[in-house]
Structure 1
Amino acid sequence: MNVAVESMSTEAEQPTGTRPFAGFEWLLAGRYLRTRRREGFVSVIAGFSFLGILLGVATLIIVMSVMNGFRKELLEKIVGVNGHIFATPIDRPLDDYEAVAARLRQVPGIKLAIPLVEGQALASSQYANGGVLVRGISEADLKSIPFIGNNIKRGTLDGFAAAAGVAVGSRLAAALSLTAGDTITLVSPKGASTPFGTAPRIKAYPIQAVFEIGMTEFDSSFVFMPLAEAQAYFNRDGDVNVIEVFIDNPDRTQVVRDAIEADAPRPLVLSDWRQRNRTFFNALEVERNVMFIILTLIVLVAALNIVSGLIMLVKDKTEDIAIMRTMGASRGTVLRVFLITGAAIGVFGTLAGLGLGVLFANNIKSIMATLNWITGANLWDPTVRFLSDIPSVIDWREVASVVAMALVLSLLATLYPAWKAARLDPVQALRMG
């Protein structure tokens, strides 16, 4: 009988615990996060942890958005000007290009099939000179390329073929100090054959139009010439070098390519934009993955700061923990208090970083313009970085993964200090205090 009474008495004296995440647990966690003179150093560590997570998440979102923007802009402009699939002849010159192009346009998924004559030349004016890529193309086909037809800055493409003029990029025109209506001289090493060898062909053309694609490499090197004039200039006897094919969806390149090979009007060698630009886009992907790994380390370091800050807080609050335990608080209560304390740093830091990163990525051009105005320098040199403006495209799936990663790391960082606090023996803690 006495044993039963003692057992009941012991059970009555044991802490029964409270409802998980009760109000007073949040109240205690909030008090531990506030700055007090005695725990000032702990609060400083918590502040640095908060800033670390904020900056890590924001930087990850900004860098990933810029890398996505780079890939999107480069893909659109490289493919938008050069085409998706390229058909070149095998057995004989492509002198039946009109019939071949008409047959290719009938393949499902193809929106344009453009015959081209291409050749290297030296463009010069009385002020400067430079190497260019001359492309012979019909007026209708040139107007149908959106990045050219919709980006004429000076002059016009109307009457392009009849005027026997050329269309040049804006940066090339600026480098040669020329504009629409001026004359540009083209020099080709493959001219007329003479008893003394091949003489260079030199001919002057009026500039019919000046276009601006927004990609430095194209704007500084492309010259478009009427197809018939280019055939005569490059000694093409009624044939072309290549037929460029533009398709509706670049991701379906292989499907359209297989359809062309199955219904080709004549033997053709086919290549596509993935083969021609594989090294370039692979390098972009590798750089993007490496940047993600490096910047993730910022979030990891901030999470480790949460661990150190909480361990110091537990050490500082040893007496408080012992008093709570003797007053009836369970180990689970203590565990949850410190979990809330550490998780609050991670959650609020992640949310603040999310807001800052999205705000920065959405307004990156305005921010760059402001920085250029403040410093008086061009911080984004298009001649070095290919594109005229810094691009940014937010991928919300990536943003969600960054936020999830930061939250998980923050929560994991709180587990060990919270567990240590919950395992603290109140008797020994009071004795040591």
Structure 2
Amino acid sequence: MSTTTQTDKRAGAGPFSKFEWMVAGRYLRARRKDTFISVIAALTLVGVAIGVATLIVVMSVMNGFREELLSKILGLNGHFTAFPIEEQFTDYQQVVQQIETVDGVEFAVYFVEGQALASGDNQSTGVSVRGMDSENIAKLPLLRNSAIQGGWDEWDGSSGVAIGYRLAQRLGVGLGDPVTIINPDGATTPFGTTPQIRSYPVTVIFDLGMVEFDSLFLFMPLQQAQEYFRLYDDVLREGQEPLDPMATDEEIDAAYERIYQATAAEIFISDPDAVGIMRQRIQAAQIDQPLVLTDWQQRNETFFSALQVERVVMFTILSMIIVVAAFNIISSLVMLVKDKAADIAVLRTMGATRGAIMRIFSITGTAIGVAGTLVGLVLGLIIAANAEPLRAFVSRTLGVAIFPPEVFFLSSLPSRTDPAEVMTVVCLALGLSFLATLYPAWRAAQYDPVEALRYE
């Protein structure tokens, strides 16, 4: 059998034969006269790797950012907030027990909330005062495990307050220092309403990991908050006759019963995305107090919608890096085709088909894309898994705050890699790399052996 016949068989042997892989492999290996083309191919590989790694890292950080914000917000505020419609919320304990019997509800907590001005040694700032008892704090792991100074033991019997560490820094107070709280809605006198001003020692300093919470919230024992915001009614005990105006304090205390109120209740459900179904279940339940329900999606609709739009825009913009790298594959293959015109002509005269030539250059270009994608995949996963240590290292090295918590709400840079998104990025890179080889490979297959060898 002649050499030409053997070459014909190798060239014509099925798609991606050993012959085609061998020729493509030789074109990928650098030779002295092909150095420039090899440099372009290497830079193209680096471009694909950078694009894939950047997409994986950015999408992982944005996923972690959304998940962390969601866990912090829903770890304290709940999936539903229930407000009484008409009557004062005096039967809050019974209502919470009834809500917790609804299928799909994990637990519910009642609380007192109001706005006030907090003053320390350094300055004053507005705070959101929330009153909760130990039983409800125990239901919130985010709050219960957040104490970095002091603790929640004997919380109900204490006369102190709990504040975030950023609020403590702003007010210039520490554990045991007094904090003055001023509420404009105080007692009513003949001369008008006097502000409610009281001082409480700091018994707990917490770190929730979210700047907004750590610099805004101030917690009080439930009854202490009810007293401070005057959320109570003194009513005569059943069967008790009205007292004489000259009655003593002891007689008044014995004759009147103090009925405390709550502001609202937070409801936590097992599936955060099932707010529509759970709203119907809660409203259909036999609950004594008619309630108005607002869910977490309504409260944070603008914020999370902006995050979703940002994710889509960032993915689209960063995908352009891979598109640019794909154009580099086209340019490097076009140069390779022109440089190998004589080789292509020789292969054609030896019996290589147009399809074989096209497959050879498709393998060459796709190999660059595959190698770049794999390098980018490994690099992206490593960086995404170590996003916070890398951020801290770069910040210390450059002396610049990268992702400052005052701007990005969180005290650390979260990252969560989604396997589905990683596969999307890999498929996108591989698909663009393959498509980028089609035109140069088609051009190579159209070469006329006679014309290519005429001037050789």
What interval of TM-score do these two structures reach, taking the shorter chain for normalisation?
A: over 0.9
3-state DSSP of counterpart to 1:121: strand
Distance 2:182 2:132 in 1: 19
Instruction: Find 1:270's aligned residue among 279, 293, 300.
Output: 293
Aligned to 1:68: 63
In structure 1, distance between residues paired with 2:44 and 2:450? 32
Q: Does 1:193 align with 2:215?
A: no
Q: Out of 381, 397, 401, which is 1:374 matched to?
A: 397
Q: Does structure 1 retain, via aligned residues, the 8 Å contact 2:345–2:453?
A: yes
User: Cα offset for 1:339?
Assistant: 0.9
Whole-Å Cα distance in 1 between the matches of residues 6 and 454 of structure 2? 21
Q: How does 1:221-370 map to 2 (within 5 A)?
A: 221-237=216-232, 238-263=260-285, 264-370=287-393
Report which stretch shifted further, 301-310 or 372-381.
372-381
Quick one: distance in 2 between partners of 1:144 and 1:266? 22
- Residues 212-231 of structure 1 show CA distances to partners (whole Å, capped at 9, x for unaligned) of 10000000110111111111
CA distance in 2, matches of 1:391, 1:49: 31
Task: Say which SS state the counterpart of residue 37 (structure 2) adopts.
Answer: helix
Alignment of 1:32 onto 2:27: yes
Superposed CA deviations along residues 333-362 of structure 1, whole A, max 9, x for unmatched, are 211110111011000000000000000000
TM-score by length of 2: 0.90
| Partner of residue 18 from structure 1, selected from 1, 12, 16 | 12
Change (3 A) 1:364 1:13: closer
User: Aligned partner of 1:166: which letter?
Assistant: V
Show CA shifts across 1:363-403 (max 9, x none).
11121122122123332311111000000000000000110
Q: Unpaired runs of 5+ in structure 2? A: 233-259
| Aligned CA distance change for structure 1 residues 266 and 13 (closer, same or farther; 3 Å) | closer
Query: Are the aligned partners of 2:7 and 2:350 in contact in 1 as well (CA < 8 Å)?
Result: no
| 2:169 equivalent to 1:174 | yes
Deviation at 1:15, TM superposition (A): 4.9
CA displacement 1:3-31 (0-9 Å, x = unmatched): xxxxxxxxx99955432323332222122
Q: Which amino acid aligns with 1:376?
A: G
Task: Give 1:59's aligned residue.
Answer: 54
Contact residue 121 and residue 173 of structure 2 kept, 8 A: no
> Take 1:13 and 1:210, find their aligned partners in 2: how far apart are those partners?
82
CA contact (8 A) 1:160 1:166 kept: no
Whole-angstrom distance in 1 between the partners of 2:385 and 2:7 = 57
Which residue in 1 is equivalent to 2:205? 210
Corresponding residue for residue 9 of structure 1: none
Check the 8 A contact 1:59/1:295 in 2, yes or no: yes
Q: Give the stretch that moved more between structures: 57-66 or 117-126.
A: 117-126
Q: Distance in 1 between matches of 2:8 and 2:281?
A: 76
Deviation string, structure 1 residues 242-276 (Cα, Å, up to 9, x no partner) = 11111222122222221110013232111110100
2:109 partner amino acid? I
Instruction: Tell me if structure 1 keeps the 8 A contact 2:56–2:380.
Output: yes
Matched letter for residue 75 of structure 1: L
3-state SS of 2:231 partner: coil
Aligned pair count reads 422
Q: Which residue of 2 aligns with 1:123?
A: 118
Contact 1:143/1:157, CA 8 A, preserved across alignment:
no
Distance 2:273 2:176 in 1: 41
SS in 2 for 1:39: helix
- Structure 1 counterpart of 2:114, one-letter code: G
Separation in structure 1 between the aligned mates of residue 187 and residue 290 of structure 2, nearest angstrom: 31
Q: TM-score, normalised by structure 1?
A: 0.94
Give how far 1:53 is off. Answer: 0.6
Residue identity opposite 1:18 in structure 2 = G
Does 1:147 pair with 2:134? no
Alignment partner of 1:115: what SS?
strand
Quick one: distance in 2 between partners of 1:187 and 1:91? 28
Shift of the 327–269 alpha-carbon distance from structure 1 to 2, 3 Å rule, reads same
Q: Distance in 2 between matches of 1:100 and 1:140?
A: 15
Compared CA separation, residues 225 and 322, structure 1 to 2 (3 A): same
Q: Secondary structure at the match of 1:190?
A: coil
Taking a change above 3 Å as real, the CA distance of residues 13 and 226 of structure 1, as seen in their structure-2 partners, is: closer
What is the alpha-carbon distance in structure 2 between the residues aligned to residue 166 and residue 405 of structure 1? Answer: 54
Residues 112, 262 of structure 2: 8 Å contact kept: yes
* Equivalent residues of 1:45, 1:309 under 8 A apart: yes
Residue 83 of structure 1 corresponds to which residue in structure 2? Answer: 78
Q: Aligned partners of 1:115 and 1:368: how far apart in 2? A: 39
Alignment check: 8 A CA contact 2:388 2:413 kept: yes
1:329, CA displacement in angstroms?
A: 1.7
2: distance between equivalents of 1:431 and 1:395?
56
**Aligned-partner SS, 1:135:** strand
Shift of 1:432: 4.3
